Amino acid sequence: MIVAGCDVGSLTSKAVVMRDGRIIGRAVIKSKAKPWESAESVMQMALAPAGLGLNDVCYCVGTGYGRDKIPFVHETVSEIGCHGKGARWLVPSVRTVIDIGGQDCKAMRLDKDGNIEKFIANDKCASGTGRFLEVMAKALGVGLGELGDLSARAKHPVTLANACTVWAQADVIRHLHDGVPVEDIVAGINNAMAARTATLVRNIGAEPDVCMTGGVAKNGGVLASLERLLSLRLKRIRREDPQITGAIGAALFAAEHANGGHR
């Protein structure tokens, strides 16, 4: 039986197709203005390599900000629930999941069965989200994917304002003009991001094992900084792109509910 999960976020949309508990298709695209267009595009992209179409999908669960606007889903589940589910599948020992998405940052604790025990989400601010990194990377003229490697080479990380993306950006530009090495600035950016995240995580209490999902999980600099602040090792997600964790969780829910486990 083929099931699918579709995660329509504010910045990116993801889709995962599974058969018999294995992923047979996956895709990530930049979200379009209309969530249903994003959903259709990303789902087609995920299905195509396996030679499948939407009609082949028995059950589909939608999640993310645009979840209520996806016409072809059978049900919706919160992205918090989906990230928890997906993370547990990717890292079976995980108890705490940190998801830094495009526009918010969430931390959740799972019980031994993988249910959400407690969660917290950041509020009201871009700093501490993927958007912060995007803005900073642009100011520095580097790619988002380079931020991790650059910060690893830093010798004297700068301290950045982490309360406001706008002010932090002004500081980044100033440091550039002053000739501060890009590596040091990037390290400062990653540290600021990690600091905001650490506060959130400590609010719910991190229980090992801890992992990070979402696009920012690919930034080794943020991970390393977060590990230092929390004084624990983060489990890296290696099986799949961490950015599709929510979609994986949605697909897993689809598999469960298609078999009559529907709530």
Return the number of the residue (25 or 81) whose C-beta is nearest another protein.
Answer: 81
Tokens 């267009």 belong to residue: 37
Shortest approach of another protein to residue 124 CB, angstroms? 6
Shortest approach of another protein to residue 25 CB, angstroms? 26
What distance in Å separates the CA atoms of residue 259 and residue 256, rounded to the nearest whole number?
5
Task: Residue 18: name the closest of 43, 1, 41 by CA.
Answer: 1
Residue 86 CA from chain centroid, whole number = 11
The enclosing H or E element of 44 equals helix 35-47
Return the number of the residue (3 or 198) whose C-beta is nearest another protein.
Answer: 198
The enclosing H or E element of 45 equals helix 35-47
Residues that bind another protein in the complex, under the rule CB under 8 A: 65, 77-81, 104, 113, 115-121, 123-124, 159-164, 167, 170-171, 174, 192, 195, 198-199, 202-203, 228-229, 231, 263
Return the number of the residue (25 or 84) whose C-beta is nearest another protein.
Answer: 84
Whether the CB-CB separation of 195 and 229 falls below 8 Å is answered with yes
DSSP per-residue string spanning 203-255: HH---SSEEEESGGGG-HHHHHHHHHHHTSPEEP--SS-GGGHHHHHHHHHHH
Residue 137 CA from chain centroid, whole number = 18
Return the number of the residue (81 or 215) whose C-beta is nearest another protein.
Answer: 81
Shortest approach of another protein to residue 57 CB, angstroms? 23
Shortest approach of another protein to residue 217 CB, angstroms? 19
How many other CB atoms are there within 10 angstroms of residue 220's CB atom? Answer: 15
Return the number of the residue (45 or 120) whose C-beta is nearest another protein.
Answer: 120
Shortest approach of another protein to residue 38 CB, angstroms? 15
Tokens read off for 172 = 């980044």
Widest CA span in the chain: 63
Return the number of the residue (65 or 89) whose C-beta is nearest another protein.
Answer: 65
Return the number of the residue (80 or 212) whose C-beta is nearest another protein.
Answer: 80
What distance in Å separates the CA atoms of residue 105 and residue 126, rounded to the nearest whole number?
9
Shortest approach of another protein to residue 126 CB, angstroms? 13
* Residues forming beta bridges with residue 18, ordered by sequence position: 3, 23
Shortest approach of another protein to residue 137 CB, angstroms? 20
